[in-house]
Amino acid sequence: MKKTKTLLFAVAVAFLALACVFTVGAGGQKDKAAPESEAAGGMVEGGELVYGTWQSPDNLDVQVTGLQITTNVGTQVFDPLLRKMPGESELKPGLAERWEVNADSTEFTFYLRKDVTFHDGTPFNAQAVKFSLDRLADPATRSVAARGALGPYKSSQVVDDYTVKVSFSQPFAGFLNMCTCVLVNILSPTAVQKWGDQYQFHITGTGPFMLKEYVPDDHVTLVRNPDYAWGPDWMHGGPAYLDTITYKVIPEDLTRVSTLKTGETDLIDNVRSHDIAEIKKNPNLKVAITGVPGAPWILLLNYQKAPTNDLAVRRAIEYAIDRDAMVNLLYQGTNEPAYSPLEKGTLGYSPEIDEIYSYDLARAKKILDDAGWKVGSDGVRQKGGQRLKLIWVIWSGGAMEEPAAVVQDQLREIGMDVVIETYDVGTAFGKWNTGDLNIAMPFYVWPDPMFLQNWYGSQYIGATNWAHVNNPELDRLLANAEKSTDPAVRADAYKKVQKWLMDNAICVPLFGKSLALAMEKNIEGLSYEVIGYPVFYGVHYTK
Partner 1 sequence: MIRYIAKRLILSIPTLLGVIVAAFLVIHLVPGDPVEVMMFGANPTPEQMAQLREQLGLDRPLHVQFVDYLGGVVRGDLGESIQRHRAVALEIGDNIGPTLMLTLAGMSIAIVVGFALGLTAALRPNSWVDNLSMGVANLGVAVPAFWLGILLILLFALTLGWLPATGQGGGRRLILPAVSLGLGYSAIIARLVRSSLVQVLGQEYILTARSKGLVERIVLFRHALKNALIPVITMVGLQFGNMMASAVVIEVLFARVGMGRLLVTSILQRDYPLIQGTILVFGIVYILSNLIIDLLYSVVDPRIRYT
Site for partner 1 in 127-156 (CB under 8 A): 139, 142-148
Which of residues 216, 239, 376, 487 is near partner 1 by CB under 8 A?
216
* End-to-end CA gap in the chain: 61
Residue 468: what are its φ and ψ, rounded to 5°?
Answer: 50, 40
Region near partner 1 per CB under 8 A, out of 58-66, 309-317, 475-483, 519-527: 58-66
DSSP-based three-state secondary structure for 450: coil
- Taking the C-alpha atoms of residue 341 and residue 135, their distance in angstroms, rounded to an integer, is 33
Least separation, in Å, of the C-beta of 419 and partner 1? Answer: 17
Task: Tell whether residue 39 is a contact of partner 1 (CB under 8 A).
Answer: no
- Taking the C-alpha atoms of residue 536 and residue 323, their distance in angstroms, rounded to an integer, is 34
Which of residues 82, 124, 240, 264 is near partner 1 by CB under 8 A?
264
Neighbour count for residue 535 (Cβ, 10 Å): 21
- Please say which residue, 319 or 455, places its beta carbon nearer to partner 1: 455
Least separation, in Å, of the C-beta of 278 and partner 1? Answer: 12
Q: Which helix (H) or strand (E) holds 101?
A: strand 96-101
Least separation, in Å, of the C-beta of 252 and partner 1? Answer: 5
Least separation, in Å, of the C-beta of 48 and partner 1? Answer: 16
- Which residues on neighbouring strands pair with residue 50, listed in sequence order? 246
Least separation, in Å, of the C-beta of 169 and partner 1? Answer: 12
Region near partner 1 per CB under 8 A, out of 13-21, 230-238, 280-288, 324-332: 13-21
Task: Tell whether residue 159 is a contact of partner 1 (CB under 8 A).
Answer: no
- Give the HSE-up count for residue 516: Cα atoms under 13 Å, Cβ half-sphere: 21
**Inter-residue contact 513 to 196 (CB < 8 Å):** no
Least separation, in Å, of the C-beta of 513 and partner 1? Answer: 13
Task: Tell whether residue 284 is a contact of partner 1 (CB under 8 A).
Answer: no
Task: Tell whether residue 254 is a contact of partner 1 (CB under 8 A).
Answer: yes
Q: Which positions ≥6 away from 522 have C-beta within 8 Å? A: 541, 542, 543
- Taking the C-alpha atoms of residue 47 and residue 38, their distance in angstroms, rounded to an integer, is 11
- Taking the C-alpha atoms of residue 38 and residue 35, their distance in angstroms, rounded to an integer, is 8
Task: Tell whether residue 11 is a contact of partner 1 (CB under 8 A).
Answer: yes
- Taking the C-alpha atoms of residue 145 and residue 109, their distance in angstroms, rounded to an integer, is 24
Picking from 227, 233, 263, 229, the residue whose alpha carbon sits closest to that of residue 248 is 263
**Inter-residue contact 286 to 260 (CB < 8 Å):** no
DSSP-based three-state secondary structure for 458: helix
- Taking the C-alpha atoms of residue 349 and residue 491, their distance in angstroms, rounded to an integer, is 7
Task: Tell whether residue 277 is a contact of partner 1 (CB under 8 A).
Answer: no
Region near partner 1 per CB under 8 A, out of 12-20, 102-110, 411-419, 502-510: 12-20
Q: Which of residues 321-360 bind partner 1 (CB under 8 A)?
A: none
Binding mask 291-310 for partner 1 (x = CB under 8 A): --------------------
Which of residues 90, 252, 472, 473 is near partner 1 by CB under 8 A?
252
Task: Tell whether residue 288 is a contact of partner 1 (CB under 8 A).
Answer: no
Region near partner 1 per CB under 8 A, out of 95-103, 161-169, 242-250, 346-354: 242-250
Task: Tell whether residue 399 is a contact of partner 1 (CB under 8 A).
Answer: no
**Inter-residue contact 88 to 159 (CB < 8 Å):** no
Least separation, in Å, of the C-beta of 176 and partner 1? Answer: 17
- Please say which residue, 137 or 505, places its beta carbon nearer to partner 1: 137
- Please say which residue, 226 or 263, places its beta carbon nearer to partner 1: 263
Task: Tell whether residue 83 is a contact of partner 1 (CB under 8 A).
Answer: no
Number of chain residues interacting with partner 1 (CB under 8 A): 79
Task: Tell whether residue 540 is a contact of partner 1 (CB under 8 A).
Answer: no
- Give the HSE-up count for residue 481: Cα atoms under 13 Å, Cβ half-sphere: 27
Task: Tell whether residue 239 is a contact of partner 1 (CB under 8 A).
Answer: no
- Please say which residue, 451 or 528, places its beta carbon nearer to partner 1: 451
Q: Which of residues 402-421 bind partner 1 (CB under 8 A)?
A: none
DSSP-based three-state secondary structure for 52: strand
- Taking the C-alpha atoms of residue 119 and residue 169, their distance in angstroms, rounded to an integer, is 33
Task: Tell whether residue 543 is a contact of partner 1 (CB under 8 A).
Answer: no
Task: Tell whether residue 281 is a contact of partner 1 (CB under 8 A).
Answer: no
Q: Which of residues 185-204 bind partner 1 (CB under 8 A)?
A: 197, 200
- Taking the C-alpha atoms of residue 166 and residue 374, their distance in angstroms, rounded to an integer, is 58
- Taking the C-alpha atoms of residue 383 and residue 369, their distance in angstroms, rounded to an integer, is 10
Region near partner 1 per CB under 8 A, out of 32-40, 119-127, 257-265, 272-280: 257-265
Which of residues 65, 156, 270, 335 is near partner 1 by CB under 8 A?
65
Task: Tell whether residue 376 is a contact of partner 1 (CB under 8 A).
Answer: no
Q: Is 175 exposed, middle or buried (0-12, 13-18, 19+ CB in 10 A)?
A: buried
Radius of gyration of the chain, Cα coordinates, nearest whole angstrom: 26
Picking from 497, 369, 504, 510, the residue whose alpha carbon sits closest to that of residue 443 is 510
Q: Which positions ≥6 away from 27 have C-beta within 8 Å? A: none
Task: Tell whether residue 261 is a contact of partner 1 (CB under 8 A).
Answer: yes
Region near partner 1 per CB under 8 A, out of 80-88, 254-262, 477-485, 491-499: 254-262
**Inter-residue contact 158 to 90 (CB < 8 Å):** no
Least separation, in Å, of the C-beta of 140 and partner 1? Answer: 8
- Please say which residue, 65 or 163, places its beta carbon nearer to partner 1: 65
- Taking the C-alpha atoms of residue 421 and residue 280, their distance in angstroms, rounded to an integer, is 36
Task: Tell whether residue 26 is a contact of partner 1 (CB under 8 A).
Answer: yes
Q: Where are the beta strands (DSSP E) in 84-208?
A: 92-93, 96-101, 107-112, 153-160, 163-168
Task: Tell whether residue 64 is a contact of partner 1 (CB under 8 A).
Answer: yes
Q: Which of residues 423-462 bind partner 1 (CB under 8 A)?
A: 423-431, 433-434, 444-445, 451, 453-454, 459-462
Least separation, in Å, of the C-beta of 429 and partner 1? Answer: 4
